Amino acid sequence: MRLAVHELIQAKWSEKIHEEWMTAVLRERPDLSLQQLERTRQLMDLHAGDCLVNGYEWRIEGLSLPDENDRHVLAAAIEAEADAIVTWNLSDFPHATLAALGIERWTPDDLLMQLLSTDEDAVVKLMRQHRASLRNPPKFAEEYLETLEQQRLSRSVQVLRRRLAEL
């Protein structure tokens, strides 16, 4: 989110995408409440600028993906004229299908690596700000990188370890 707020990326999502991530988080984190996630959703929409994609639904029927339930994501990406879909779920977004539409597919680690190669200083600065904002619990720089590694951002963490003193 911090990357979107500071305009290093232009994040796009739909109400349906919100519903999906919220359902997944509630399944994995029963300690969180729907009200907490609704607040997060509102803050995301407020701070990410022109992020909500509407009017994509008409595109869904004409799309084919391995999991039909993911067609709304592709439809929203097409409507938003997105450069890429960022997901860990690469198998449900075949490269050939997306390439024919001029859309790439990136993992979150791919996205962060791309940003690090483009403007490493800006990314490190935002990550330092993010780490400093963590209060419950606060994290030392190494702990922060361990958390990112647990989130499967391993290639990015390798790059960031060189800048550990700045995080």
pLDDT at 90: 96
User: Residue 49 region, left (φ>0) first, then alpha (ψ -120 to 50), else beta?
Assistant: left
Under the banding of pLDDT at 50, 70 and 90, the label for residue 25 is very high
Query: Other C-beta atoms within 10 Å of 1: how many?
Result: 14
pLDDT at 49: 85
CA torsion angle for 66, 68, 72, 75 (degrees, to 10)?
60
**Measuring CA to CA, how many Å separate 46 from each of 2, 22, 50, 120?**
12, 17, 9, 26
- CA dist., res. 24 & res. 27, Å (int): 5
pLDDT at 12: 96
Q: Is it the case that residue 127 has pLDDT exceeding 90?
A: yes
The string of pLDDT tens digits covering residues 47-90 is 998 999 999 999 999 999 999 999 999 999 999 999 999 999 99
Q: Is it the case that residue 94 has pLDDT exceeding 90?
A: yes
All residues at 6 or more sequence positions from 107 whose CB lies less than 8 Å from its CB, including other chains? 86, 87, 88, 90, 152
pTM: 0.90
Q: Is it the case that residue 113 has pLDDT exceeding 90?
A: yes
Under the banding of pLDDT at 50, 70 and 90, the label for residue 119 is very high
